[in-house]
Structure 1
Amino acid sequence: MTAFHENLVRMRFDRLVAVLLLLQRREQVTAAEVSRELDVSERTARRDLEALAMAGVPVYSVRGRGGGWRLVGGARTDLSGLTASEARALFLAVGPASGATPAMKAALRKLVHALPKPFQMEAEAAASSLVVDPQRWGASRIEPRPPRFLDELQDAVIRGVQVSLGYVDGKGVETRRTVHPLGIVAKGPVWYLVSNTETGRRVFRIDRVSSADPTENPVQRPGDFDLAESWNEIAEEVDRKRTPLEVSAVCTPEGIGVLRMALGDRLDVGGPTTDGRVAVVIRGPNEYILAGELSGLVEWVEVTAPPGVRHRMASIGNALVERYGRPRTGGGLHSS
């Protein structure tokens, strides 16, 4: 991530866009005017303006009486002081990955039209090139190695060019293929590339990419493609493959919090039952693992189906009683 992007991420993105639009409309603004327009303190307005300048946006201050803040080239440049890379960085920072509100998206559309024509397409592409999904897959807390080719692949997504991709799969086998990059996803700490290939849509872990050589051939992008919707479909499919078995159960109300902590997004909470408990559905890879997990939660949970999980839990209970239900004999310490 560039220093420009890092500085923008630290700011309130709605204010960032509002300040830029204000600068575009007027020849010059003061911190006091920004404060009144955006309903923030003058100190906050001044800090935002200074952060924009430090981040690389072509904004500068005019000192002395009658001073204020201006865009390089004047307000009628329609933000033409932005370079292509700066415009892209701006829209990466304030695009859908930032959790933009509807009002924010409307402001973005206005800002797109304020950009110079050559930058508009790349700015729009940057705004839709990244999705952030904070929930990691699995329980592993091992951090992946930094993705070497993240910047190159994101650039290819934004420019809309195909990439000759070297990739090492989970078994250590390296292959090379030409892909059509469609978007980048941050899933927890792991980065993924969503692409079209000769065999259909594929997802690649970017930390397993061994080389990424952009071509000049344009990406073949489905006309109705939406990265966020596509990723939701991919994530649901992966979750179904990782946890194909569903267990129906009832849980005491006070146990729901315990289940959430233990099971995360593998838990679906339903409505109340006639006896005051709560219906839940729990997903897992197989009966053996789910029975082991849920045996430690019997204080709160009663499994109702499938029978195989209930039988395995009963076996686990019998084994626990056999091992721990009788007093130990021998091997202890005796006083004389």
Structure 2
Amino acid sequence: MRADRLIQALLLLQGRPQITAAELAEELEVSVPTARRDLEALAMSGVPIYPTRGRGGGWRLVGGARTDLTGLTEGEVTSLLIGLSQSGHADPERIAAVRKLVRAMPAPFREGAQRVAASTVRDAPWGEVADEATSTTVAALQRAIAGQRRVHVDYEGSLGRVGIELVPLVIGNRGSRQYLLGAPVQDGTDAADVERLRMYRIDRVRELRLLPEPGRAPDGFDVAAAWARMVARVEDLRGAARALVRVEPWAVRALQDRFGAQAFVLEAEPDDDGRALMEVRAHRVDALAEQLAGWAGVAEAVGPPEVRAALRELGERIIALYQSDGAPRTRHPL
């Protein structure tokens, strides 16, 4: 990603009296024209670098061999950091780049940058995932976190579209789906009331507006612990209905892939019938029955009775629908 390269180029410039496009190309493993364009992009964005021509020439930082990124505005620095935090997975190189960027920032910018970096979480997916939410919404939320500001969001929830004013605290990913942990402020303060912390799907945010009022995380707020608690709470809600299932051994892995964190192997060793015992979960009994119906050839729900009854009812509806000679049934108006 180009944002990664620009940060690396800036850090290389910081550690050397000067660097040529060819030297930068070798360091970044890109072509010389690409390296030259990256250097020109840094200069155009306001980074205090300039080229010197002729023998022994190259690109140098204004004022000496080191910089604290004072050529960047706070908004530009935050934009670079947001680009890094949004791109790809949390591989070691990207984590290292974010840390180096934060360390290299001037003191006035560092606190906001640290809040953005600390509030960004990547996690394993919940089952199937949707397309990634627009980066503009995430960027706006991260800017609010950096500046300790409240936001107003129009959110499309299960009860329809509602307007919510809250303090954004954590931006988390489960696979490619993104979530916001946010809370309203405590009465009479500008600190978020974490007792009212909620998780919001960012792809359901229809509009977002940055508010002038301050909003910050309370002292001692633990991002990782808050994320873990909310994930556990959602997992409990998603797994309110449970079923014990006897599964053909070769299908255990496939069932785990389908149900994700809602599938558990209880007895890996085959029973007398040659099947393994698993527990699978869903948010409702009917939803669990619908998911299990497609596995009827390899998995049998042995309990509880309400799941077996829901499967039986579903089977009866399917039989009633398809027991005719194949001609579509005519629906008569009421």
TM-score, length-scaled by structure 2: 0.71
Say which of 191, 194, 199 aligns to 2:181: 194
Whether the aligned pair in 2 keeps the contact of 1:96 and 1:127 (CA below 8 Å) is no
SS of the counterpart of 2:197? Answer: strand
Residue 328 of structure 1 and its aligned partner are, at CA, apart by 5.9
Cα distance change, pair 63–136 in 1 and its aligned pair in 2 (3 A)? farther
Q: Which digits, 9 at most, give the CA deviation of each residue in 1:214-266, with x for residues without a partner?
A: 2343524241421x543343233123223311222232243245435644553
Whether the aligned pair in 2 keeps the contact of 1:71 and 1:81 (CA below 8 Å) is no
Whether the aligned pair in 2 keeps the contact of 1:267 and 1:282 (CA below 8 Å) is yes
Cα distance change, pair 261–173 in 1 and its aligned pair in 2 (3 A)? closer
Q: Which residue of 1 aligns with 2:167?
A: 180
Residue 87 of structure 1 and its aligned partner are, at CA, apart by 1.3
Whether the aligned pair in 1 keeps the contact of 2:153 and 2:205 (CA below 8 Å) is no
Q: Which digits, 9 at most, give the CA deviation of each residue in 1:66-111, with x for residues without a partner?
A: 2333345543233222221221122223348754445654554444
Q: Which residue of 2 aligns with 1:81?
A: 71
Say which of 141, 151, 159 aligns to 1:171: 159
Instruction: Tell me the matched-pair count.
Output: 313
Q: Which residue of 2 aligns with 1:274?
A: 270
Cα distance change, pair 57–130 in 1 and its aligned pair in 2 (3 A)? farther
Q: Does residue 242 of the first structure (1) align with residue 201 of the second (2)?
A: no
Say which of 193, 204, 214 aligns to 1:217: 214
Q: Which digits, 9 at most, give the CA deviation of each residue in 1:191-210, with x for residues without a partner?
A: 54322324621334554465
RMSD: 4.2
In structure 2, stretches of 5+ residues that fail to align are 187-194, 329-334
Cα distance change, pair 311–52 in 1 and its aligned pair in 2 (3 A)? farther
One-letter amino acid matched to 1:67 = G
Q: Which residue of 2 aligns with 1:251?
A: 247
Q: 2: CA distance between counterparts of 1:148 and 1:23?
A: 30
Q: Which digits, 9 at most, give the CA deviation of each residue in 1:131-158, with x for residues without a partner?
A: 456846778x7x7996986554332211
One-letter amino acid matched to 1:51 = D
Q: Which residue of 2 aligns with 1:6?
A: none
Q: Does residue 47 of the first structure (1) align with residue 34 of the second (2)?
A: yes
- Percent identity over the alignment? 30
Deviates more, 1:27-36 or 1:111-120: 27-36
Whether the aligned pair in 1 keeps the contact of 2:125 and 2:175 (CA below 8 Å) is yes
SS of the counterpart of 1:299? Answer: coil
Q: Which residue of 1 aligns with 2:144?
A: 156
Whether the aligned pair in 2 keeps the contact of 1:72 and 1:81 (CA below 8 Å) is no
Say which of 101, 109, 112 aligns to 1:122: 112
Residue 118 of structure 1 and its aligned partner are, at CA, apart by 1.4
Cα distance change, pair 300–49 in 1 and its aligned pair in 2 (3 A)? farther
Cα distance change, pair 136–73 in 1 and its aligned pair in 2 (3 A)? farther
Cα distance change, pair 216–70 in 1 and its aligned pair in 2 (3 A)? farther
One-letter amino acid matched to 2:14 = Q
In structure 1, stretches of 5+ residues that fail to align are 1-9, 332-336
Cα distance change, pair 290–100 in 1 and its aligned pair in 2 (3 A)? closer
One-letter amino acid matched to 1:180 = V
One-letter amino acid matched to 2:285 = E
Residue 298 of structure 1 and its aligned partner are, at CA, apart by 1.9
Whether the aligned pair in 2 keeps the contact of 1:161 and 1:217 (CA below 8 Å) is yes
Q: 1: CA distance between counterparts of 2:118 and 2:72?
A: 19
Cα distance change, pair 168–93 in 1 and its aligned pair in 2 (3 A)? closer
Whether the aligned pair in 2 keeps the contact of 1:71 and 1:79 (CA below 8 Å) is no
Whether the aligned pair in 2 keeps the contact of 1:163 and 1:180 (CA below 8 Å) is yes
Q: Which residue of 1 aligns with 2:55?
A: 65
Q: Which digits, 9 at most, give the CA deviation of each residue in 1:157-215, with x for residues without a partner?
A: 111123466666543464554x3321334567765432232462133455446563523
TM-score, length-scaled by structure 1: 0.71
Q: Which residue of 2 aligns with 1:4?
A: none
Equivalences for residues 277-288 of structure 1 within 5 A = 277-288=275-286
Q: 2: CA distance between counterparts of 1:170 and 1:147?
A: 23
Equivalences for residues 199-210 of structure 1 within 5 A = 200-205=196-201, 207-208=204-205
Whether the aligned pair in 1 keeps the contact of 2:78 and 2:143 (CA below 8 Å) is no
Whether the aligned pair in 1 keeps the contact of 2:82 and 2:142 (CA below 8 Å) is no
Q: 2: CA distance between counterparts of 1:77 and 1:188?
A: 37
Q: 2: CA distance between counterparts of 1:330 and 1:107?
A: 63
Q: Which residue of 2 aligns with 1:113?
A: 103
